[in-house]
Chains A and B, each alone.
Chain A
């Protein structure tokens, strides 16, 4: 049986990979998943670029940046499988929100904090998880809807999710956008309140993808891995299975299974209780979506201020998001 080395960051949206191994979906496709825990998206990217892993649970911005030439002469990265849509949330400092606070009042409070850095010795500060992450774009979008425009009195930083609750508590940041279970954990530690999520923001949903080196796209192992993940994502549609998946995640992160399952069971404790549809979606969204790629690439270019690439945006998106490979993998399905 061929071993396939796959890197992942322990997060709710790594569950299609984790459950593939747990449920033996990998063996059923004739591969053996060797899952390697990674501590950062920089490590995921470097492991892909240097070929230390065959594939990885990855931010879609990474293959897009690779195809746009942002990593120099590095080998091309691409994705033929979207792992999930949505799944991030925005959490703000508990001290900024009393029980009566509405989003309008919160907006007014945040705008006031951007007026002056004097009182606290630092500007209004929010954290995301990586420079080209969708988290950063979601954060900017949410702040704009509250009338807070990115500029000199608003500071965006990157703090890894496992460290973010502590940064909130010590007053280094006012809020953050991260995947689960880190928002639910900040709430359970009494340091934050969740004020919005990807689903509510309604931006293009592609959240994490399975990224691979271009030269591995056509391999038999990749085809098998796509079929195995496709099955895992369908398996993750049922509430009962999601509960079981929550337990697996809880064990890996060594946290309370109730907290680990909140995002999966649409039970994330939010300021605005109206949840429009599933908090995180795994099934029925797996074919790479060119429109999402185009939107993400636009955001990346705006945020990196890097328009001097010779490659047309359409070509970057087509090379990074390979729906043709996804189609071929599922056509050759054996059962």
Chain B
């Protein structure tokens, strides 16, 4: 996990007052304007969190950066003028984004940013785990179907079918799941 004192925060738009609060809280602050190239700022600075106005048009660019996936799991923290604890609570519960009120003390801001960063990292690793599990599951399904083919057409029992797939995989230097897929493909082609 990132050491908070080294975290880089990207600040989009004209919020000069905030730079000092953020620096006082121990963050390294990089500022860009709305008209600057946000993609370039991300690629060059690798910020751990982004701060921008709740009505900033650049929020849609951040949405796109988030869909680009693995490289950019940074949380966006939204600045709003008034104090609306209900909206902030709902936004946090939904995991949409965190709302920062402008009058926040550096200490409160520091903890909110840190929590947002670690939350985003958790979500990111959960997603990766989910994708890995889904891949494992689909590989297992393929191996099972291939074993059923070997059982039905060649009368092999489970152990023999698995051994046959393993030999096929070793001979063609691929994984067992890939060997199973090839077997199923060639079966499809025959039909």
Q: Main secondary structure on chain A at its contact with chain B? A: loop
Contact of A39 among B37, B56, B62 (CB under 8 A): B56
Q: How far is the CA of A74 from the CA of B95 in the complex (A)?
A: 9
The stretch of A46-54, A78-86, A104-112, A318-326 in contact with B is A46-54
Nearest CB of A to B56, in Å: 6
A74 contacts B63, C-beta separation under 8 Å: no
A-B contact count (CB 8 A): 72
Contact partners of A42 in chain B: CB under 8 A: 59-60, 62-63
Knowing A172-B37, A308-B134 touch, does A50 contact B87 (C-beta < 8 A)?
Answer: yes
Taking a contact as CB atoms under 8 Å apart, the answer to whether A159 and B61 are in contact is: yes
Known: A72-B95, A166-B35. A160 touches B57 (CB 8 A): yes
Q: Is the Cβ of B61 less than 8 Å from the Cβ of A157?
A: yes
Residues of B contacting A38 with CB < 8 Å?
A: 55
Residue from A41, A50, A157, A161 within 8 A of B39 (CB atoms) = A157
CB distance from A252 to the nearest CB of B (A): 15
Task: State how many residues of chain B have any CB contact under 8 Å with chain A.
Answer: 25
Query: Top 5 nearest A-B pairs by Cβ distance?
Result: A160-B57, A158-B64, A39-B55, A42-B59, A40-B59
Q: Which residues of A contact B160 (CB under 8 A)?
A: none
Q: Among B54, B58, B90, point to the contact of A160 (Cβ < 8 A).
A: B58
B57: contacting residue among A39, A72, A74, A304, CB under 8 A: A39
In-complex Cβ contact of A130 among B54, B63, B87, B94 (8 A): B63
Q: Give residues of chain B (29-74) contacting chain A, Cβ–Cβ below 8 Å.
A: 34-35, 37, 39, 53-64, 67
Q: Does A275 contact B (CB under 8 A)?
A: no
Nearest CB on B from A77, distance (A): 12
Closest Cβ of chain A: how far from B99's Cβ, in Å?
A: 9
